[in-house]
Amino acid sequence: MKSGNRPATIFNVAVLVASLGYFVDIYDLLLFTIVRVPSLKDLGVSQTEIDTGVGPLLISVQMLGLLAGGIFWGIIGDKKGRLRVLFGSILLYSIANIANGFVTGTNGYLFWRFVAGLGLAGELGAGITLVAEILPKEKRGYGTMIVATVGVSGAVAANLIAKLVPDWRYCYFIGGGLGLILLLLRISVMESGMFSSTVEDSTIRRGSFLALFNDRTRFLKYLKCVLLGTPTWFVVGILIAFSNKFAIEMGIKEPISPGDAVAFCYTGLVLGDFTTGLLSQLLKSRRKVMIIFLLLTGACVAVYLNLHGIEKWLFYTVCFILGFSVGFWAIFVTIAAESFGTNLRATVAITVPNFARGMLPLITMLFIYLQHYVTYLQSGAIVGTITIVIALIAAYTVEETFGKDLNYLETIKYKLDEID
């Protein structure tokens, strides 16, 4: 296989475009979290329906879109190219964002959140795959670090814009407009040379999603990559999303805003993604950094669940530190991209983060189920321990991918590929 031309610098158009694409991606995801309640109220939905009906359904529908989109864009990324995904996904969720601003009822809202989920699913994995393949192996960790750091800062931007712009519809319009502007930048981005060389050989079978499950070794490797990301969603989806309830359980007298807790958490995530990316380059290891930060996550969760009677500012400070501790999203997706051959790389890198996100409903179900037998705080502690310990086992046994030559292929069985 020919590797194609590979830029020697991390400051190139592909890194810039992937970074800004993920920025808009995260902007939309967090914006939906922030404006979900006020937008539903504006559409005439009762508080009861927001809490137990349409509100949770909106989240589930978006998650379904993310899962379906992860598979769809993953296959497209390996069959048609990384750039096709970058163009297609940004166009789809930009249109969905703008349409979200025009909805007049819950049915339209549900439909366009599903479409937004479909579009959002492809952005990060395709960007990381492209950056990993065009940069020299000694520098690609810096490239993916920039992508994740710039991208996660979209959450901070979403929180700021939601506070400055009084109308939730205009917040969606801003996100859609940013995405459409970004499409202009993508015109100058070149396709990965590694991928292009696989297209030239018609015997190479690409983008077989089912190939991830027909080989035991390959499946276990894929599963480990998914499990590495679950502690992030336990922290964000349980501890931070329900921070107001946790604060009440711990006797914190001042009211805690989940929106502010999310903002502090994601600010920490920005710093964490930068730190883990840089540290992995300095230590020349992805695995060591994952293990260090998973242990840090465990310690921070233990501190968080024991913040009895503290002041509001200290609570938010711990939310920031918690976010920093789970700021290994860049390393997590980079490991996934580096663990598989060129003909399956996009499929893996795009589906893995979406499947990790998709673990949140299962984590939430376990969290709620345990509350029938233990206290609210104890339930959080048990679920946190399970997710972190499993992730630690995965990190300890996963392949070290730092400096790995990515110019290779996965062997895919003929009959299986015919099913796709």
CA quadruple 236, 272, 120, 206: dihedral sign: negative
| Segments making up each domain of the chain, as ranges | 13-415
DSSP string, 350-412: HHHHHHHHHTHHHHHHHHHHHTTTS-HHHHHHHHHHHHHHHHHHHHHHSPP-TT---------
Contacts (Cβ under 8 Å, ≥6 apart) of 229: 329, 332, 333, 352, 353, 356, 357, 359, 391
Q: Could you tell me the pTM of the whole model?
A: 0.88
What was the pLDDT predicted at 97? 93
Pair of tokens at residue 339: 């663990």
Contact by Cβ (8 Å): 329, 273: yes
Contact by Cβ (8 Å): 146, 10: yes
Pair of tokens at residue 325: 């501790």
Model confidence over 364-388: pLDDT tens digits? 889 989 999 999 999 999 999 999 9
What was the pLDDT predicted at 413? 67
Neighbour tally for 68: CB within 10 Å:
15
Q: Which of 404, 411, 3, 406 is nearest to 194 (CA)?
A: 3
Q: Which of 86, 88, 83, 81 is nearest to 198 (CA)?
A: 81
Each of the 420 residues of the chain gets a pLDDT tens digit; together they read 444 444 557 778 888 888 888 898 889 888 888 888 889 989 998 888 877 678 778 888 888 899 999 999 999 999 999 988 988 998 999 999 999 999 999 999 999 999 999 999 988 899 899 998 988 888 888 888 898 888 888 888 888 898 899 899 999 999 999 989 888 877 778 888 888 888 877 778 888 898 999 889 999 999 999 999 999 999 998 999 888 889 999 999 888 888 788 889 988 998 999 999 999 999 999 999 999 999 999 999 999 999 998 999 999 999 999 999 999 988 899 999 999 999 999 999 999 999 998 888 889 889 989 999 999 999 999 999 999 999 999 999 999 999 898 888 888 765 544 444
Q: Measure the CA–CA gap between 55 and 61, rounded to whole angstroms.
A: 10
Q: Measure the CA–CA gap between 91 and 73, rounded to whole angstroms.
A: 13
Class of domain 13-415: mainly alpha
